[in-house]
Every structure is written in C-alpha cells, then in structure tokens.
Amino acid sequence: MNAKLALLALVPFPLLIAGALTYTLTAHRRYRLQRRAASAMNALLHDNLSGVRQIKSFVREREEHARFNRVSDQLRHATLVVMRVWAIYSPSMSMFEAFGAVLVLGFGSHAVLTGAMQMGDLVAFLMLTAFLYDPISRLHQLNQLVQAGRAAGERVFEILDEPVEPGFVAGLADPGRARIAGDIRYQDLSFSYAEGLPALRRVSFHAPPGATIALVGATGAGKSTLVNLLARFYEFSAGEIYVDGRPIREYALRSLREAIGVVTQESFLFNGSIRENLLMGKPSASNTELWSAVDAANARAFIERLPTGLESIVGERGVKLSVGEKQRLSIARALLKDPPILILDEATASVDTATERLIQEALERLMFHRTSIVIAHRLSTIVHADQILVLDHGRIIERGTHDELLGFGGKYARLCQQSFLEASAQPEPETPAEEVATLPISAPDEQLPV
C-alpha cells in the first residue's frame, strides 16, 4: 500500500530481534538456577517430612526451620531474578512495537495533511501494522515458555538419556523355554564399583537346585554385591554366572528376574493397600491364593485385626505397620511369585525373638524346594544350610557346613564365639501351633514406624 510507511513500520525490527536474541541466550541459565533451587527445596521438604520423628527426637526443629528458610530464600531469589528480567524485557519489546506504530502514525498523518495519502488508506495501514506486531508480541511470550521448558526438559532428558539396562531390550521373555530349575554356578566372578577397588575377587561356588547357600562375613565383605549380580542389578567385569548351565547374560532380563524372589532386611511396601502390595508378586492371583500366601507367611492374624483387612492402607513405605508385619507381607509377596530362586538378605535382622520365630517358620515354607541364597548374621537362619560361604574382602575364605566350619576353627568359628552370629546353636523350644496363633503381635497403638 505504501512502501515508505512499510519501511517505517519495520524500523523497530532490529531492536526486537536483538532483544529477543539477548533474552534467549541468557534466560536458560536463569531458569536452570530456578529449577535447581526448586528441586533443592522439594528434596529438603521431603527429607524433613520423612524424618520428622528424628527431628523431634533430637530437638532440631529450629535448625531445620532455618535450613528450610535458607533454601526457600534461594528459590525466592532465583524466581525474582527471572521475573525481574521478564519485567524489563516484555515492556521493552512492547515499547519498540509502539515506537514503530508512532512512526507510522506520524508520517502517515503528515501525508494525509499534505494530500499525499487518503485518510482511509492511513486507517487501513494502521490496522495492518497492528496485525504485524501482534504475532511478534505472542512470539515473545512463547519465547519465555520455551526457555522455561528447556530448563525443565533438561532434567527430564537426563533420565530419558540414561542407557537402557543391558539385556532389557533383548526380549520380554524366552518363548518356548522350560521353567528355570534353579541351578546356580558362580565361576571366577570379579566385580568393582570403582576402578581399583574390587568388591569381589574370583568368587566361585555351585548351588544345585533346591540347595540353600548361606553367606557370612563382616559388613563390606561383598555378600549383598554377590546376590545383586545374580539379578543383574550390576554388570560383573570378569568371570561368569550360570543359571541352569546358561550364562545369565543370555537370558532376557525379564525372564531372569521373574525366576528370582527377593526378601530384604528393610521391606519396601508401596503406599497402597495390603492387597495391592501382595499382587506385586502375582497380579493375577485370586483371593484364595492371596490368603494361602498370607497363611504361609504367618500374617493372617494381624491382617484380620485391621479394620478393612486386605484393603487396609499401609502408608508410605509401610509406615502404618510394624517391622515384623512388613517383613511377613514381603514373604507372602515372594510366596505368591513362586520363584525357583530365592534371595534372603538378612530377613530377620531387625525383629524381636517372638516375631523372628513367626518369620522363620514362614521362611522355611518359602525356601522349601527352592534354591536359596541367604545372607544372615543370626545362626538360627543359616545353621541348616547345605553350604556356608565365609567372605572376607570380596573373597571366599572358608566353605562347608556349620559343623565342618566349626571344626576348622577359622573365621566362622570365631564369629560364632564372638556372638557375631549367635552365642550358641541350641535350637529354641518348639511352640505349639495354638500358642503360635496367640503370640502377642504389637497392637496398632504400639506399632512404631521404621
């Protein structure tokens, strides 16, 4: 319509481009700092809420409150920096756009007064100028969203870009293969968490199907590392692990882990109902199967005492249940899974004697006809193992049955004498079935979340 006015309307464009470029190049760092500050505050808040009993017991409320104030103040400062820059950038861009409109209006008015341009043409040109600047304003707002999204996406892609577990994409299962029998063989296995600090050194042993292997040793000897490698939570650097004569790296990861059940010292329960936690072991389990597993784990008494039974909510990490109750639910979950290979990582280390008896009975049912690898400090858990392996600094220094190792007079015998396991191997007196059913289990008001 008018080349001269068109050029005047484009005068602010270099300023708009320069402002947008400056904002784009510097905004990412500001939004990243804001995200990190928000993450630090959320992490601290989660820790304080999870550890509120410890904070109260150590009378650290004032210090933790001050700590939270410092972290939240960092978030406030980072957010104000972002808002301050945007408060300068956005009105500046609007001002440059208005400057272009003023130029068009000024020169166009002069042209109308001198007769070089019709009034209608000027009005039409001003309307078209508004159509030119409006999308630019929207682009500035979009730029702010993009920069905020880049900072947030950076944290998401840190997780998405992590390499997939080796073997995970090899296949969901091994079609056509028979059920794993549970024959386990470690051959010259070595592993290091960090370069130059070996956690395991040339470990070799054989566990035939249905056998119980006990691992004994001081903290840091490599017991948990040994069983974690079987489930491929880590990848060993040398040697090999065979399951039914086949290297575990030839199994699809899903198939291997479906054949392994794990009961750990600290039982993890999800914040849902007891039924939902049990169904983790077998999602298709019927109500009859659930109660059969509950009975085998000696958990029926405390479940029936709860107001809604299997539908009772256990709370975050099972906070509404006692340690022994959580442990028995973990055993019931493993029973439902019915794996041929079982890993018990100090499953009775944190309970009293009466609860230990109930758990031990449940474990005996769970271990029946399964290949079991047991990590324990209590002698009652491992005295009947088919083979006991004594680890020290990542090596097996002794192996044999309980009586054989006591006869050697080595480290195992010393651990027994020092009550590292237990003072003696005398079995506890048998408890009648009716007495077991009435053993005191902590009442709801006595349960201490751990």
- What pLDDT score does 167 carry? 64
d(Cα 311, Cα 365) in Å, to the nearest integer?
25
- What pLDDT score does 110 carry? 84
Residue 173 lies in a domain: no
Enumerate residue ranges in the chain where pLDDT < 70. 167-178, 347-356, 359, 377-378, 380-381, 418-450
Q: Within this chain, do residues 148 and 199 fall inside the same structural domain, yes or no?
A: no
- What pLDDT score does 176 carry? 44
Residue 174 lies in a domain: no
Q: Within this chain, do residues 143 and 205 fall inside the same structural domain, yes or no?
A: no
Residue 169 lies in a domain: no
Residue 8 lies in a domain: yes
Q: Within this chain, do residues 96 and 209 fall inside the same structural domain, yes or no?
A: no
Range of the structural domain that residue 148 is part of: 3-160
Q: Within this chain, do residues 287 and 196 fall inside the same structural domain, yes or no?
A: yes
Q: Which residues pair with 240 in a beta bridge?
A: 187
Number of domains in the chain: 2
Q: Which residue has the tokens 């009005």?
A: 123
Q: Within this chain, do residues 85 and 224 fall inside the same structural domain, yes or no?
A: no
102 C-beta neighbours (distance < 10 Å), count: 12
- What pLDDT score does 76 carry? 95
Q: Within this chain, do residues 7 and 116 fall inside the same structural domain, yes or no?
A: yes
DSSP secondary structure of 137-168: HHHHHHHHHHHHHHHHHHHHHHHHTSPPPTTG
Q: Within this chain, do residues 148 and 198 fall inside the same structural domain, yes or no?
A: no
Q: Within this chain, do residues 61 and 112 fall inside the same structural domain, yes or no?
A: yes
Work out the angle at residue 148's Cα, subtended by the Cα atoms of residues 142 and 150, and round it to the nearest 5 degrees. Answer: 100
Q: Within this chain, do residues 278 and 133 fall inside the same structural domain, yes or no?
A: no
* DSSP strands (E only) in 303-370: 341-345
Using alpha carbons, list the distances in angstroms from residue 277 to 268, 312, 318, 324: 9, 11, 10, 16
* DSSP strands (E only) in 258-334: 260-264
Of 267, 231, 249, nearest to 349 by C-alpha is: 267
- Is residue 226 within 8 A of residue 398, CB to CB? The reply is no
- Is residue 397 within 8 A of residue 412, CB to CB? The reply is no
Q: Within this chain, do residues 148 and 211 fall inside the same structural domain, yes or no?
A: no
Residue 109 lies in a domain: yes
Q: Within this chain, do residues 154 and 189 fall inside the same structural domain, yes or no?
A: no
Angle between helices 323-337 and 287-296 (to 10 degrees): 130
- What pLDDT score does 168 carry? 63
pLDDT tens track for 398-450: 888 888 888 888 888 887 776 554 444 444 444 333 333 333 333 333 333 33
- What pLDDT score does 218 carry? 80
- What pLDDT score does 142 carry? 84
Residue 352 lies in a domain: yes
Instruction: Report the CATH number at residue 260.
Output: 3.40.50.300
- What pLDDT score does 444 carry? 36
Residue 168 lies in a domain: no
Q: Within this chain, do residues 242 and 322 fall inside the same structural domain, yes or no?
A: yes
Instruction: Report the CATH number at residue 129.
Output: 1.20.1560.10
Of 263, 213, 222, 203, nearest to 372 by C-alpha is: 213
Q: Which residue has the tokens 């086949």?
A: 246
